[in-house]
Amino acid sequence: MPLLSEAQREDALAGLSGWTYRQDRNGIAKTFRFDDFGEAFAFMTRVALEAEKADHHPDWSNVWNRVDVLLNTHSEGGVTEKDVALARTMDAIAG
């Protein structure tokens, strides 16, 4: 899957709420916040199932009610449509 150009990446980010480009990690990032740990963990579980189906896995961490996510396509060395698609899925799951 080809890397998105800078213009394509910016267009994609314009359609994603709260996602930003992290140049230092060459990926798109977002912090999700929930009411408590249980909700954060449930979100991660649902995303994990979808990520496994897509064979595309996030870099993420969880501390209590917060899930920090970074998406990039490691095999391509940057952001592809796979990352944008998973970001949309994550947003839909988070509600």
Report whether 34 contacts 1 (CB < 8 A). Answer: no
- The band of 72, judged by pLDDT with boundaries at 50, 70 and 90, is very high
At the top level of CATH, the class of 6-94 is alpha beta
Instruction: Note the Cα 4 to chain centre separation in Å.
Output: 15
Q: What is the pLDDT of residue 31?
A: 98
What is the chain's mean pLDDT, rounded?
97
User: If you average pLDDT over residues 10-16, what whole number do you get?
Assistant: 97
For the chain, give every domain's residue range. 6-94
Mean pLDDT of 79-90: 98
Residue 24, SS3?
Answer: coil
Specify the pLDDT at position 1: 82
Question: pTM for this structure?
Answer: 0.95
Strand, coil or helix: 95: coil
